[in-house]
Amino acid sequence: MTTATHTPTANPAGPSTAAAIELVGVTRRFGTRTVLDHVDLRIARGRTTALLGPSGTGKSTLLRLATGLLPPDAGVVKTLGVDVFSASRDELLAVRRRMGMLFQDNALFGSLSVFDNVAFPLRRVAKKNEAEVRRRVEELLHLVGLPEVGDRTPDRLSGGQRKRIALARAIALEPELVLFDEPTSGLDPQTSASIDQLVQETQRRLGITFVVITHDVESARLIADDVGMLHDGGVRAFGPREQVWASTDPVVRAFLDRIPVHSAP
């Protein structure tokens, strides 16, 4: 069993001590391959937590389990205090409305303009009137630094711009928890740095929980308050960033120091 429990000393989100995401004894297999093996994990609210690890270690699987998009083979997954796999479909949809997600490929609606993409959850979920929708979308586009692209379609934006618009849409409903699946994947170093900065600034401004799945060590170092490292079906390390960065565990060190795989322990 792999256990990683960490409760931060300061919680900017307020008095709530319930975890944003809690996994208890979670196992997930794909065919004969066990991706997550009896994983225990508790991600605190009000902080940015980065989950690191090489490709294929179950980072995205963990995210999909937390959102109820994928069921575990065993164990309990609680997100924002709700057991997502014993909840009814309506309860699951309700808890998802308290979350936002930024997908690796952004998942923007290609047939809609940028404005309509960001407006989508405001119109369809929050049922806001058009004046409120316009005000909120303009505010969000300004927040992500792209106030002038509202009438373009996503295919006319750069990779970094699409990522920013996806973030604007993910936080449109003022969620308590935002999940990022490889937010800097496929971006050039400068654009990655600007996305990191945006994530950092947005988290500070909103004070909500950000969970970032990434294999970008530098990105995690910049944005995370807490860091977890997945390895070999479990959580190899978890704790405040400084603590994990000071780890002497050879597996953790090899990943953080980018030691080539054939030389790693």
Partner 1 sequence: MKRVAALLWPLRLAAFATRALRAALPAPPAKDTLLLTVRLMLRSLPVVVIVTFFSGAMLTVQAAVSLESFGARSVAGLIVGFGGVREVFPLLAGGSLAARTGAELASQLQAMRVTRQVEALEMMGLDSVRLLVAPRIVACILGGPFCVLAAMVSGLVGAYVIGVFQLGIDRGAMWGSLLQAVGGVDVVIGVVKGVILGGLVGVVATFEGFHGELAGPQSVGAAANRAVIRGMVVVCAAALGLSMLIYGRLVGTAI
Closer residue to partner 1 in complex, CB, 169/241 = 169
> Is 109 among the residues that bind partner 1 (CB under 8 A)?
yes
Q: 161: closest CA among 173, 149, 179, 174?
A: 149
84 secondary structure, DSSP code = T
Stretch 72-101: interaction string toward partner 1, x if CB under 8 A: -----------------x---xxxxx-xxx
Closer residue to partner 1 in complex, CB, 105/232 = 105
To the nearest whole angstrom, how small is the minimum distance from the Cβ of residue 23 to partner 1? 19
Across the chain, the runs of DSSP E, i.e. the strands, are: 2-5, 21-30, 33-43, 48-52, 74-79, 82-83, 99-102, 177-181, 209-214, 226-231, 234-240
Distance CA 59, CA 51 (A): 7
Residue from 34, 87, 120, 221 binding partner 1 (CB under 8 A): 120
> Is 30 among the residues that bind partner 1 (CB under 8 A)?
no
Residue from 27, 54, 87, 103 binding partner 1 (CB under 8 A): 103
Closer residue to partner 1 in complex, CB, 76/107 = 107
To the nearest whole angstrom, how small is the minimum distance from the Cβ of residue 133 to partner 1? 14
One-letter amino acid at 145 equals: G
Long-range contacts of 136-144 (CB under 8 A, 24+ apart): 136/172, 137/168, 137/172, 140/168, 140/169, 140/171, 140/172, 141/114, 141/115, 141/165, 141/168, 143/168, 143/171, 143/202, 143/205, 144/168, 144/198, 144/202
195-254 residues in contact with partner 1 (CB under 8 A) are none
Closer residue to partner 1 in complex, CB, 84/227 = 84
Residue 53 · residue 4 · CB < 8 Å: no
> Is 124 among the residues that bind partner 1 (CB under 8 A)?
yes
Stretch 154-173: interaction string toward partner 1, x if CB under 8 A: -------------------x
To the nearest whole angstrom, how small is the minimum distance from the Cβ of residue 121 to partner 1? 5
Give CA 171 to chain center in angstroms.
Answer: 12
Residue ranges binding partner 1 (CB under 8 A): 67, 69, 89, 93-97, 99-101, 103-105, 107-110, 120-121, 124-125, 173
